[in-house]
């Protein structure tokens, strides 16, 4: 579904990404792991055309989409749940969900079945929701675009433990339904229970990749690149 090859990007004269490469197959869950400031969000921004790629390729469903405008990336099948949620503060829950909706598998009733709490808040504005409710709304909004790949940047950051558990349960339902997912989160233990493969980024470079067994059996990777 997604193939990233030799991706380079920079902020001004400061190069941040150095030949990033990984892929996500249909129905696969892949993580981007690494400490803060190592280039994970920059990788997502470059994939989505929010930051220009200086070199490399972003291939979506077999089509070269490198440096395509973000709305073209979305139409190609990519749904983003951004860091910080970024819900529309002056639109209510229903308006947030339908604003960018596209026809397909996921409709309003499906999202409300996944997140019943949103159904109880339909007339609430985006800025009237709790952080957990905003994250549910951001995930639901991405699903309403009917993507082929859902990308979550900091899926449970700043959420209360009970809300985090609810988000993980919903993401597991998405995985079980065959959704392709690329996810960033700091909870490595939860990710190893949820994901199929992991990509570790350090200072803008991929320094390791492997499946759950490989990560569990290589504790030095967690110690060197993930522990704070």
User: Total structural domains in the chain?
Assistant: 2
Tens-place pLDDT, residues 64-108? 999 999 999 999 999 999 999 999 999 999 999 999 999 999 999
From residue 199, give the alpha-carbon distance in Å to each of 133, 172, 182.
Answer: 29, 19, 10
CATH number for the domain harbouring residue 225:
3.40.50.300
Does residue 35 fall inside a structural domain?
yes
Tens-place pLDDT, residues 193-203? 999 999 999 99
Q: DSSP states of 191-208 as a string?
A: HHHH-SEEEEEETTEEEE
**Would you give the DSSP letter of residue 4?**
E
pLDDT at 228 exceeding the cut of 80: no
Tens-place pLDDT, residues 20-59? 999 999 999 999 999 999 999 999 999 999 999 999 999 9
Q: Are residues 52 and 107 in the same domain?
A: no
pLDDT (average), residues 172-183? 96
Does residue 163 fall inside a structural domain?
no
pLDDT (average), residues 142-168? 95
Short-list 96, 211, 106, CA closest to 148: 106
pTM as predicted? 0.94
Q: Are residues 198 and 142 in the same domain?
A: no
Element (H, E) at 108: helix 108-114
Domain boundary among 100, 124, 147: 147
State percent of the chain over pLDDT 70.
100
Does residue 184 fall inside a structural domain?
yes
- What's the domain range around 199? 1-77+148-157+180-228
Q: Are residues 43 and 127 in the same domain?
A: no
Does residue 162 fall inside a structural domain?
no
In contact, 183 and 198? CB cutoff 8 Å: no
Higher pLDDT among residues 217 and 47, named by residue: 47
The confidence score (pLDDT) of residue 227 equals 80
The confidence score (pLDDT) of residue 177 equals 92
């Amino acid at each position: 579904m997604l193939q990233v090859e030799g991706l380079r990007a920079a902020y001004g004269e400061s190069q941040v990404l150095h030949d990033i490469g990984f892929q996500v197959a249909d129905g696969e869950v892949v993580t981007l792991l690494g400490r803060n400031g190592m280039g994970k969000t920059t990788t997502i921004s470059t994939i989505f055309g929010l930051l220009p790629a200086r070199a490399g390729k972003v291939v979506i469903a077999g089509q070269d989409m490198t440096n395509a405008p973000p709305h073209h990336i979305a139409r190609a099948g990519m749904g983003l749940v951004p860091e910080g949620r970024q819900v529309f503060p002056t639109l209510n829950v229903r308006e947030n969900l339908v604003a960018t909706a596209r026809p397909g598998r996921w409709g309003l009733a499906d999202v409300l079945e996944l997140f019943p709490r949103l159904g109880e808040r339909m007339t609430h504005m985006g800025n009237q929701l709790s952080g957990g409710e905003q994250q549910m709304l951001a995930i639901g909004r991405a699903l309403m675009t009917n993507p082929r790949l859902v990308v979550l940047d900091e899926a449970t950051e700043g959420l209360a433990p009970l809300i985090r558990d609810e988000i993980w349960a919903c993401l597991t339902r998405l995985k079980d339904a065959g959704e392709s997912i690329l996810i960033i989160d700091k909870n490595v233990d939860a990710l190893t229970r949820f994901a199929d493969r992991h990509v570790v980024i350090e200072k803008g470079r991929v320094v390791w990749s492997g499946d759950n067994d490989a990560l569990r059996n290589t504790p030095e990777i967690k110690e060197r690149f993930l522990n704070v």
